[in-house]
Each structure stands twice: as C-alpha cells, then as structure tokens.
Structure 1
Amino acid sequence: MKDFQMDHASENDLLAKKEALIREIRLSTDIFKAMADPVRQDILMMFMVAKRMNVAEVVEQSPLSRPAISHHLKILKQAGLLSSTKEKTEVFYTLSMGDSVIKQLKKIVQVAEELMDDPAKTLE
C-alpha cells in the first residue's frame, strides 16, 4: 500500500510539473510567435548591430515596405523584444530583451529540466 501511495504521489508531482511547463510555454506564446518569423529574426539581428533605429532605417535594410516593417516592429514591441522612444516626430526602437523576456525563457528551461530530471518519469 505504501509503494502505491509513493507512486501515486510521484505521478501527481510529475503531472504538476508537466502542467507548470505548459503554463510557462503558454505565457511565452507572444515571444515565440514574434521570434518565429524569419523577417522578425532579421530585424532582431539588425538591432544587435545597430542598437537603435527608426522605421526608415530598418526599411533601408529590408526589401519590405514601410507598413510591413511597422507591423513587424509592433509585434516585436508587444512581445517585449523591442522598446521605443519618441523624439520629436521620430520613433526610435531599441532591443529590449530585458529581464521579463529573459526570465520567462529561463523559467521554461528550468521547469523543463525539472520535468526531465524527475525520477517518476521512469514510472510512465
């Protein structure tokens, strides 16, 4: 009876870890969606070199139209990967994979590692 209780408790713990991983991944959906698009990946790489650009500067380095670039910048900003500041009539964007984005991605890795290292996984 005691072994059954331990197995059941281990299974419950494993299930809780699986649910935690799913929860963390779902919290990061905007980040993953923003980073999944090759155009946005290219834009992020531009910011790793230039650090600070306005829409026109991004358009100069891309085959896309200004409205298309603005759309991609908006998605990256909403995901927390870029931030913007307005100076007179220009909006400048900077890479801002700050604490919140990095912490969220680290949390996913941490929860996934806990799940992978769980001894109850062998009971499945």
Structure 2
Amino acid sequence: MKEQERNLLLEKKQALLHEIRQSTDIFKALADPVRQDILMMFMIAKRMNVAQVVEQSHLSRPAISHHLKVLKQAGILDSLKQKTEIYYSLTLESSVIDQLKAIIRAAEDISNDPAKAFEEHE
C-alpha cells in the first residue's frame, strides 16, 4: 500500500476516534437500561416532570432526578421550568443526532476505503 493511502486511512481512523470521543456523554447516557426506559417514556409522553417519571418507574425520586440530569447533560433531554415544576422533553437536537451520524459516516468511510483491503492483507 502506498504511503499516501496509508496516511489517508490513518486520518480517517483518527477522525472516527475523534467523533466517538466527542460522543462519550451520549453513549454513557444511553448505555444504562434505566435511562433507556426513561427515553422510551419520553417517546410516548413527549413531556414529563420528575414525579410523572417516578410514577412509571420503580426508582426513587432522587434516582430518577439523577438519570434525567445525565440525559440532559448528554443533550438528549431538555428542561423547562414552569412555576415550581421542571418539565423534561426529548430535545432531538440536531447536535446529538448529527454526532451519531458523523460516527456512522466516519466508520463507513473507513469500511469503504479501498486502502483498507490492502491493509488487511499485509
């Protein structure tokens, strides 16, 4: 394999690693089964406060608050304070979706790179 092709493939692999590292908070947030269940609740209800999430869960209010905070920090949930209540909803921000798409694009770019075939045979 030519040095230039090898360097280009290495750059693509570094780009993928960068995208993955940029998305660590998203992956951590989505890795927990409780947060996955909470995410599914928001797919149905669209908007809920902590008490409404607690009603649908076996966990305590502090535990649910923690999980909601993690999802919010990852950019998956957004919050809006109305009087004394905080309501959460899915952000479906383009930034979160764009990050995940960038990882897929970078992985596909490596997978489809003709230089990769030569690398496997060396």
Normalising to structure 1: TM-score of the pair? Answer: 0.94
Where structure 1 has 5 or more consecutive residues not aligned to the other structure, the ranges are none
2:99 aligns with one of 104, 112, 117: 104
Q: Aligned-residue CA RMSD in angstroms?
A: 0.8
Letter in 1 for 2:41: M
Q: Classify the secondary structure of the residue corresponding to 2:57.
A: coil
1:21 aligns with one of 6, 12, 16: 16
Post-superposition shift, 1:74? 0.1
Matched, 1:31 2:26: yes
2:44 aligns with one of 38, 49, 56: 49
Q: Classify the secondary structure of the residue corresponding to 1:84.
A: strand
Post-superposition shift, 1:122? 1.4
Post-superposition shift, 1:97? 2.0
Where structure 2 has 5 or more consecutive residues not aligned to the other structure, the ranges are none
**Pairing 1:84-99 to 2, within 5 Å after superposition:** 84-99=79-94
2:78 aligns with one of 74, 83, 103: 83
Query: In the TM superposition, what whole-angstrom CA distance separates every residue of 1:19-50 from its partner, at most 9, and x where no partner exists?
Result: 00000000000000000000000000000000
